[in-house]
Amino acid sequence: MTEVAAVDEAPSGPADDDWAAAVAAVRDLPADARVLLICHVNPDGDALGSMLGFGLGLRRLGVRDLQATFPGPAEVPEPFRWMPGVELLVPQDDAYLDPDLVICFDAASKSRLGDLVDRLDKARASLVLDHHASNTGFGRINLVDPHAAATSVVALELLDRLGVTLDAEMATGLYVALTTDTGSFRFEATTPAVHEMAARLVATGIRPGDISRRVFDTRPFGAVRLFGEVLGRATLEPAAAAGHGLVWTYATHDDLARHEQPAYVLEALIDSVRCTEEADVSCVIKQSGEAEWAVSLRSKGAVDVSAVAVALGGGGHRFAAGFTGRGALDELVGRIRAELATATLIAP
């Protein structure tokens, strides 16, 4: 099998020059500058939360012509619709065509920006805020910190350097982002600095109980029934991933339609699957088109699923990654199995 990757191989965060360039790009904006914020397709809590939290910070700095958007249908997943800053959102087709500054959030590559990539190319300046080790550095200025638990960590640091005073509205988005990407402070990336940031955010007066209930613990009853069905057909393959084990399941458009559910409810499915003790790797395959699937991969630490996702055309982090798969479901599962059989193991 396999090379063994060192645990701490990710490159370090942004250099002082990058921070200085990012601060200048915002500070030196003319009064009539149009600023466009873009986060990744199928936005999650980190993508939306860091974008809207940062956007409200730009408002405080006096940026007037400001839009936030993401590729694809303009629908914000229900759990995030209440967040302060959603009023900044516009459908992708309404986004400035040639903004003065584009700022991207939580996107590791241009491919995560869908049709909005042309805005990036046309913008006078571009700034990328992210925390994926696989980030391709596609901005003119790149603030990428692979050690950051969420993109909102990078966003808050930039707001601090811009001299913006944190308030509860900004803190709400940044907190949603931080709790989403740390699995509510359960994942490996939950360092003392993460808790210190959370303390700062909570000290603004936001209510973590309310926020967690809205984001993580409120779903339609139909979603509960849908989960029952989809979890009922989960498959455990103990010999997969070189004996570390794989557990997987899938959900189709037909499953969603039968239970009258929107696609976003499936985002939480991976958490119910990955608790399987007998498998290091978990996988949820969600239909996203006629013969197209959004694949989520998680690892408990033995297997680098980011490398698996990259090999299959996607990206992500070592313990949480994904890709878009095409073709028949059984062939797709076969490709995942094959990639896992020779996957990179992470040193204990």
320 makes contact with ligand AMP (CB under 6 A): yes
Nearer to ligand AMP, 261 or 296 (CB): 296
Q: Minimum distance from CB of 104 to ligand AMP (Å)?
A: 12
Which of 45, 315, 325, 339 is close enough to bind ligand AMP by CB under 6 A? 315
Binding characters for Mn ion, 147-176, by CB under 5 A (x = yes): ----x-------------------------
Residues 262-281 that bind ligand AMP (CB under 6 A): none
Find residue 282's DSSP bridge partners: 247, 298
Q: Is 321 in the site for ligand AMP (CB under 6 A)?
A: yes
Single residue of 316, 332, 343, 345 touching ligand AMP by CB under 6 A: 316
Closer to ligand AMP by CB, 35 or 284: give it.
284
Are 95 and 69 in contact, with CB atoms under 8 Å apart?
A: yes
Instruction: Select the binding partner of residue 315 from ligand AMP, Mn ion, none (C-beta < 5 to 8 A, by kind).
Output: ligand AMP
Which residue, 29 or 295, has its beta carbon nearer to ligand AMP?
Answer: 295
Containing H/E element for 115? none
Binding partner at 179 among Mn ion, ligand AMP, none, C-beta below 5 to 8 Å by kind? none
* Close Cβ partners of 266 (under 8 Å, ≥ 6 residues apart): 230, 251, 256, 284, 286
**Ordered alpha helix ranges (H), the chain:** 16-27, 45-60, 117-122, 151-161, 168-181, 192-202, 208-216, 221-232, 253-258, 269-273, 305-311, 329-341
Torsion sign, CA atoms 43, 48, 50, 52: positive
**Residue 312 to residues 201, 279, 332, Cα–Cα distance (Å):** 37, 21, 10
- Residue 304 binds which one of ligand AMP, Mn ion, none, with CB within 5 to 8 A depending on kind? none
Nearest to 294, CA basis, from 253, 254, 259, 257 = 253
Q: Select from 68, 322, 343, 346 the one that contacts ligand AMP (CB under 6 A).
A: 322
Residue ranges in contact with Mn ion by CB under 5 A: 44, 46-47, 106, 151, 181
